[in-house]
A and B are shown apart, each in its own frame.
Chain A
């Protein structure tokens, strides 16, 4: 299924030099989204951008392979073709990466699914094949839905048409009222993939931060929460992370190249959280709150975050032993 069939071609027969210029221009504008290049020799390329090119994928047969480093530079120098430009938020980028890394297998397919049967179909596929990614294509909208069996039983969704890309509940509402049937494919997730690890890690971090700030807000109040958020924003701006804290609520617009990169960033943010909140309520109490928050996370999320918070909490333990 062509992921960007609903998007118009922006530039036909683009040369490598012009492509390079276009990429440079978009980097200057802090572009978030996707470049999709169809080469004359049926070779297709995806560039996932979040300010700069974060990841590139090329198709070999039915599979998508990440292209990195020198191979990516060499492709950019020699490849031209038809270009589609697709601005989209980091949530959509994350789903697209999951899709590209999990496309090998299609568990179930439905070619003519009316809108009222869409949700039951997803539910059914989830029950039969476990966690997975649904790719839907209708007219004029297409997109991706990730089923996520956590305690809150939430799902992540991104949908787009020729003009725009949306995420969240709004897309569901649009799908519910769609007049035309959908073409659906269900792709089971490879839980060992790095895209999935990064996705889970980001989700865990967001949940953790939300809970920790909720606790902090009850103790220190709204204004102090705002000031701590400002402190964290200074760090994020300095490091050019597309993360913003607004009165303790995290707006996550950063797309990571890999789960390791995400781990490094989150580890630094945990340390900054400890420092900023510690200035107000004392680092010992922040550590205690972090431990309590960790316990309230789902087990998968807890196991991902533990190594990152572990160092911060171990300082306390070693001090207590001493």
Chain B
């Protein structure tokens, strides 16, 4: 209800916290602490943001338990964010212990996260457009096959340009931008269908992930040194986009949860 103070308070607190995290990250990025804390300080921001978005998505799944359609979407969404959160944690730990890790366990969680996001998109697509069963399955299979075909083709081209044979590392390097492209396209489509509504917001957050990841992929694949240097503006843009994607998804899920829990607590025009 308009004028309900508790959800307004919670929402304002979440907004301030998200803003504070975003600004602090900028400060730490350009003025990093000395010594051991240098590596861990920036990674911690991603960890906190990932936990925040996972918790809010899980809350949303919890509140949607009586509704089979939305429940399926938010369960997969929360699991995907949870897997990414685990990946962030593992990556941070490895980074602290032995410097930036290469291919490793974290990638298993990142790749699985993409799969669960795919399931969430599929569930949302089915609920929105109510396609016949054969069509929805065909669309899902087509996107999966296209993603695999594209990632293998890019991996092959990448390996050739590096003078290597096709291996898992090359495939992963190619898979991430392709996965991001698929997620970005799906998110854009769903956000377009829900345009103007609060249901579009978590998907717009996902779009931010796709943009940030594409920037990372470009920086990594280009191998231009000044872009990769710590403290570079490009890296900051990619990092802050990635951080804001977690924060935005978390805020969008939190807003939806608050409304489901307390009703429309902000005044709507009628």
B64 — nearest CB in chain A belongs to which residue? Answer: A221
- Bound-complex Cα distance A282 to B197 (A): 4
- How distant is B188 from chain A, measured CB to nearest CB, in Å? 14
Within 8 Å of chain B (Cβ to Cβ): is A114?
no
A285 to B199, CA, bound (A): 11
Tell which of A221, A234, A276 touches B70, judged by Cβ atoms closer than 8 Å: A221
Do B197 and A283 have beta carbons less than 8 Å apart?
yes
Which residues of chain B come closer than 8 Å to A82, judged between CB atoms? none
Determine if A227 and B194 form an interchain contact, defined as CB atoms under 8 angstroms apart: no
Query: Looking at the complex, which one of B66, B128, B199, B269 makes contact with A275 (CB distance below 8 Å)?
Result: B269
Main secondary structure of the interface of A (DSSP, over half): helix
Give the residues in chain B near A276, CB-CB below 8 Å: 268, 270
- Say yes or no: A223 contacts B69, CB within 8 Å: no
Asked whether, in the complex, the Cβ of B127 is within 8 Å of the Cβ of A280, the reply is no
In contact, A224 and B259 (Cβ under 8 angstroms): yes
B193 within 8 A of A: yes
CB interface residues, B 188-209, toward A, < 8 Å: 193-200
In the bound complex, what is the Cα–Cα distance between A280 and B200 (angstroms)?
9
Q: Is A206 an interface residue (CB 8 A)?
A: no
- Is residue A278 contacting chain B, with contact meaning CB distance below 8 A? yes
C-alpha gap A235/B269 in the complex (Å) = 11
A231 interface contact, C-beta 8 A: yes
Which residues of A lie under 8 Å from residue B259 when comparing CB positions?
A: 224, 227
Q: Is the CB of B66 within 8 A of A285?
A: no
Given contacts A275-B268, A284-B195, contact A220 B70 (CB under 8 A): yes
Check: B19 CB closer than 8 A to any chain A CB: no
Closest to B66 in A: A222
Q: Does B45 contact A (CB under 8 A)?
A: no
In the complex, whether A272 has a CB less than 8 A from a CB of chain B is: yes
Q: Are A231 and B193 in contact (CB under 8 A)?
A: no
| A283 and B196 contact, CB distance less than 8 A | yes
Q: Chain A 253-282 against B: per-residue CB contact (8 Å), 1 yes, 0 no?
A: 000000000000000000010011011111
Count of A-B contacts with CB under 8 A? Answer: 73
> In the bound complex, what is the Cα–Cα distance between A265 and B160 (angstroms)?
69
| B interface bracket (residues with beta carbon within 8 Å of A) | 20 to 34
* CB 8 Å contact bits of A222-246 with B (1 = contact, 0 = none): 1110010011001100000000000
Chain B, residues 1-18, CB within 8 Å of chain A (1/0): the string is 100000000000000000
A281–B227 CA distance with the chains assembled, in angstroms? 40
- Interfacial chain A residues near B196, Cβ < 8 Å: 278, 282-284
Contacts of B67 in A (CB 8 A): 217-218, 221-222
Inter-subunit contact A220/B66 (CB<8 Å)? no
Q: Give chain A nearest CB distance to B76 CB in angstroms.
A: 16
Contacts of A275 in B (CB 8 A): 268-270
Residues in chain B near residue A279, CB distance under 8 A: 197-198, 264, 268
Q: Which residues of B from 56 to 81 have beta carbons under 8 Å from A?
A: 63-64, 66-67, 69-70
- B200 surroundings in chain A (CB, below 8 A): 282
Question: Which chain B residues border A5 with CB–CB below 8 Å?
Answer: none
**Of B1, B198, B269, which contacts A230 at CB under 8 A?**
B1
B263 contacts the other chain (CB 8 A): yes
How far is it, in angstroms, between the C-alpha of A235 and the C-alpha of B1 when the chains are bound?
A: 13
Judge whether B233 is part of the interface by a CB distance below 8 angstroms: no
Interface membership of A106, Cβ < 8 A: no
Assess whether A10 is interfacial by the CB under 8 Å rule.
no
B138 in the interface, Cβ–Cβ < 8 Å? no
B145 within 8 A of A: no
Contact of A221 with B260 at beta-carbon distance under 8 Å, contacts A276-B268, A278-B196 already known: yes
User: Given that A221-B66, A282-B200, A284-B196 are known contacts, is A230 also in contact with B128, CB under 8 Å in the complex?
Assistant: no
Asked if A108 is at the interface (CB within 8 A of a chain B CB), the reply is no
* In the complex, residue of chain B having the shortest beta-carbon distance to the beta carbon of A286: B197
CA distance A3 to B26 in the complex (A): 81
Q: How far is the CB of A112 from chain B (nearest CB, A)?
A: 54
Q: Is A224 within 8 A of B269, CB to CB?
A: no
Select one of B197, B260, B263, B264 contacting A278, CB under 8 A.
B197
Residue of B nearest to A284 (CB): B195
Ordered nearest first, which 6 A-B pairs have the shortest CB separation?
A282-B197, A221-B67, A282-B196, A282-B194, A281-B197, A223-B260
Given contacts A221-B70, A227-B264, A280-B198, 5 further A-B pairs with CB under 8 A are A218-B127, A219-B70, A227-B263, A230-B263, A275-B269
18 contacts between A and B (CB under 8 A): A221-B67, A221-B69, A221-B260, A222-B67, A223-B66, A275-B268, A276-B268, A279-B264, A281-B194, A281-B197, A282-B193, A282-B195, A282-B196, A282-B197, A283-B196, A284-B193, A285-B193, A285-B194
